[in-house]
Structure 1
Amino acid sequence: MKLYYSPGACSMASHVILHEVGKPFEVEKVSTKTKVMESGRNYWAINPKGAVPALELGDGEILTEGPAILQYIADSNGATDLAPPAGTLARARVNEMLSFVGSELHKAFSPLFHPGKTDAEKDAAREMVGKKFAWLESCLADGRAYLTGSAFTVADAYAFVVTNWANVTGISLAAWPNLTAYVERIAARPSVQATLKAEGLA
């Protein structure tokens, strides 16, 4: 497998899960601005949507969209701790969280990375992110270690990466102590530390 990524982007979640499963893989960095890869190739030729991540499989197939990639990595490696078996409520709960992070939290951050947005628009985006954080805080209030219970899953990798964008968008996590502890817990995982180092972020 080969992961096309950009440091600190949502592709980091897939990078973390590749480290979690512990099988050999390759990575290639992509500039999200120029769409040029480290090798000098044009990333549009890999993913016509232009976004990271993309996962190149052994037979040359290209898989895109983070949640699909996360589940494929876990499923194809038999990692039922990271993604419970299909058809179970546990798997549905993981998908529920993946959907929330992708369609709600990730989307809420988007204006904060858009240079054309006004200060007022960015303030409104921060307020919306705060509402999403508050919901995650409520989920973690029962003492669970991870979003769906006691086991770290692919949903946690995605939530961790997106929540960490608070650091670069002027949002403090101080108002959400359970979420803060959750982020710190995941940051300590060897897979996350290895990914941060590989992406030049640690």
Structure 2
Amino acid sequence: MSRGYVLYGAAGSGSVAVEAALTLLGEPYRVVERATWKDAAVREEMARVNPMRQVPALILPTGELMTESAAILTLLADGCADSGLAPGLESPMRPRFLRWMSFISAQIYSLYWVRDDITRLAADAGHEAVIRERTAARITDCWRIMGEQAAPAGRFLLGDEVSVLDLYLAVVSRWGPRRKSFYAAAPGLAGVVRAVDAEPRLAALWAERFPFAEGWEG
């Protein structure tokens, strides 16, 4: 793995969870900044790497492309079993890990394709506020469901050691409607994301890539 990883991503995006995982693993990587939701030209440029025109996209040291944040995080964690970033295949926590990784990806993260550019689905300007309101309500309801069914097994979701599931949760829960809404919907998970926020090994990463600026919780 001497070539290291190349990560196409952007500050404040889902790629930050991947950066956090690579940081905890001590793996060399470089980021190619691509804020695809801000500029159509950037999206078209990104299409040369990922036809979905989305980040994160990770070029493995072998040269192979990986997309889809949950899959990337799982691959990285499974590739270094002694890191503790994911439960092993035989662990009783493995089903829980896979369930909630997939839940965040399919039920919550996917809605940001809409929220990042409401015009993708809004037939006219009058529909935009309704779509924004209803997607926010759906996200909040999904957090409520997860909060009711995914009680932490320790300091974090799967025990007392941070996992890529915790990283994923902490990053995605910071997006709109933002953390105050998340805390209200899933109060039992508040301690988990705050523990990830306070992880000393990630302090420099958070400061550079997703800073806790005034009002960041919403």
Normalising by structure 1, we get a TM-score of 0.83
Out of 12, 25, 30, the residue aligned to residue 16 of structure 2 is: 12
Task: Report the counterpart of residue 43 of structure 1 in structure 2.
Answer: 46
Q: CA RMSD in A?
A: 2.8
Amino acid at match of 2:72: I
% identity of equivalent residues = 26
Whether the 8 Å contact between 1:133 and 1:179 is mirrored in structure 2 is no
Equivalent residue runs for 1:1-202 within 5 Å? 1-32=5-36, 33-34=39-40, 36=42, 42-116=45-119, 117=122, 118-139=128-149, 141=151, 144-166=154-176, 171=181, 173-199=183-209, 201=211
Measured in 2, the distance between the counterparts of 1:5 and 1:166 equals 19
Measured in 2, the distance between the counterparts of 1:121 and 1:20 equals 37
Shift of 1:151: 3.0
Q: 1:89 to 1:35 in 2, by over 3 A?
A: farther
Q: 1:155 to 1:169 in 2, by over 3 A?
A: closer
Measured in 2, the distance between the counterparts of 1:181 and 1:200 equals 19
Cα deviation code 1:49-103 (max 9, x no counterpart)? 2111111122321111111211221222334511122244322221111011011
Measured in 1, the distance between the counterparts of 2:173 and 2:28 equals 28
Measured in 2, the distance between the counterparts of 1:92 and 1:184 equals 24
Q: 1:119 to 1:65 in 2, by over 3 A?
A: same
Q: 1:42 to 1:119 in 2, by over 3 A?
A: closer
**Higher RCO structure, 1 or 2 (CA under 8 Å, sep 6+):** 1
Whether the 8 Å contact between 1:112 and 1:169 is mirrored in structure 2 is no
> Which segments of 5 or more consecutive residues in structure 1 lack a partner in the other structure?
none
Q: 1:150 to 1:170 in 2, by over 3 A?
A: closer
Whether the 8 Å contact between 2:50 and 2:67 is mirrored in structure 1 is yes
Measured in 1, the distance between the counterparts of 2:27 and 2:139 equals 35
Measured in 1, the distance between the counterparts of 2:60 and 2:25 equals 16
Amino acid at match of 1:24: P
